[in-house]
Structure formats: structure tokens, C-alpha cells
A = this chain, B = another copy of it.
Amino acid sequence: MQIARTVEEFRALRASVPALGVVPTMGFLHEGHLSLVRRAKAECGAAAATIFVNPTQFAANEDFSTYPRSLERDLELLRAEGCDFVFAPDRVEAMYPPGFDIRIAVGGVTTMLEGAVRPGHFDGVATVVAKLLNITQPTRAYFGQKDAQQCVVVRKLVRDLNMPTEIVVCPTVREADGLAMSSRNAYLAPAERQAATILIRALRAAEALFQAGEREADALRQAMRAVLAGEPMAVVEYVSAAHPESLAELERIGAAGALLSLAARIGKTRLIDNLVLPPAG
């Protein structure tokens, strides 16, 4: 496995393979990330991961400085998966040199859900993803469904800017008790870790209602809120039953299906999760 610490070093590695699958990450890797690397390797022949905690997608009051980092462990995990290349910029200035002041705004789909709670977040995501795709020039880039709105934003970025990369969204990987894997789970104290399963339990309650025939989106949102209300440690930020492309809140679940999503704080830790409902007649 070859490790590039600068853009120029990565470009030289990239030129050595005809096709490449890339997994952009902020490091502190877990099985979710590794499942993407395996798929990239299997589908493209060569796989690369990028590891960069991107400051421009954190607001001033967020956890940029405390976001967990573990480069040596990450590299070991990637090596064990047969990952070919890693792009791990050696400093923030490698990505944002002095004088950098470009910004990509992806429009309507960035204003709701995570975008409403985290203003500017998706401009930061879109800009760094555009840069990472231009640097790594992947045949395909792999993202986890766990960050559902990010997947919508990245797909729109690539489509609207005609970027020559295929975006592949892979299933959320979960712990045995259903908690979605996330680097931020490392923040949870034992009691909080227990309480955190309330997110997937809320989503599954709404999904079960849907499977039993419920088509009113409000009923699904209320079901999620009712389950979340049973966990005193959870402070709900939003629950949503939205169109999977436009992310507009639905009145009824119809031919487009729906994205059920929610965000809650457990103690000081902010967690998100989602499930996709299939099209309904």
C-alpha cells in the first residue's frame, strides 16, 4: 500500500492504474468504511481511501478539534483490506493553500435536515468532495448510506457538474444491536452507547408501520417521535419522512418511496441514522 501526503504524490500513484475505486473518509475507520474499500477493490481492481478531517464542513461550535483521529491504526486496517493507495494530506494547507476562497453551493437539497441544523456544512462537503474527486480521479467513488443527505448532495454535485465519476452508495453497516457504525460512536459513554440504539429502534418502528400498510408520512414521523420520547437521554433534532431525491417532506408515501431519517443528541454526541422505504402503490 502506497501513501501519498501531497496532491502531487497522489497524482503519480493514480497514473499507475487504469481504473480506481475511491473511498473518501475523515479517518477513524470502522467496518462501514472497510466495506466500501472492499467493494471498491472488487469492482475497480484498484482501491484508494482518502483520510482528511475537513475543517470547512464543521461549524465553529462543532467538534472539528476533538474529532477522533487514528492515522496509524487506519493505515493498518486499510493495508489488511488490500487497499492500494491512501491520500492522507500531511496538513490542512495541502488542501486549502493560502488564498483559497472557492465555494460550491449545491442548492435546494442542502437547506433541510442536516443542512438546516448545520448551516454551511454541505457547501464544505461539496467543495472538498469536488477537490478529492479531481485529485483522485476515480472511476467510481463509494459512500455509505448512513450519511443519506450527503449521498444526495454528492450525486447532485457530480451530475450537475458533469464530473466523470460514478457515485456508488453502499448499505449502512450496523453493530449487532442495530446502531449504525459511526466514528462519533467513540464519544459515547457506556450508558449513552446503550441509549443510542433508540435511533434505529425509532426508524424500525416507522418501517414496521409502513410494512403494515400505513402511507401517511405524519403517522410515520409520529411513530419515530413516540419511540424516541421513551429514551430520556435522547434529545431529538429532527425526524423526517422525505422524498429520497428532493428531500422535501412527504404527505403520503407513494411511487418514489421515502427516506426516513432522524438526528438526536445522546449526551453531547450528535447521531444520525436513516432507512429507505421502497416505492408504495
Contact = CB atoms under 8 A, between A and B. Distances in A.
Interface of A: 7, 11, 100-108, 126-127, 130-131, 134-135, 137, 156-157, 160-164
A161 B11 CA distance: 14
A163 B102 CA distance: 13
B102 A156 contact: yes
Nearest to A135: B162
24 contacts: A7-B162, A11-B164, A101-B106, A101-B107, A101-B108, A102-B105, A102-B106, A102-B107, A102-B156, A102-B160, A102-B161, A103-B105, A104-B104, A105-B105, A127-B161, A130-B161, A131-B160, A131-B161, A134-B161, A134-B162, A134-B163, A134-B164, A135-B162, A137-B164
A111 to B, nearest CB: 11
Nearest to A101: B107
Contacts of A106: 101-102
Contacts of A157: 102
Contact of A104 (B103, B131, B134, B156): B103
Contacts of A156: 102
A41 B134 CA distance: 25
Which 4 residue pairs are nearest across A and B when measured between Cβ atoms?
A101-B107, A102-B160, A134-B162, A135-B162
Nearest to A158: B134
A41 to B, nearest CB: 23
Given A162-B134, A164-B134, A104 B102 contact: yes
A106 to B, nearest CB: 5
A237 to B, nearest CB: 25
Nearest to A105: B103
Contacts of A164: 11, 134, 137
A137 B164 CA distance: 9
B131 A162 contact: yes
A160 B108 contact: no
A228 to B, nearest CB: 32
A151 to B, nearest CB: 16
Contacts of A130: 161
A120 to B, nearest CB: 13
A161 B132 CA distance: 8
A7 B137 CA distance: 19
Contacts of A126: 102
Contacts of A160: 100-102, 131
A279 B241 CA distance: 61
Contacts of A105: 102-105
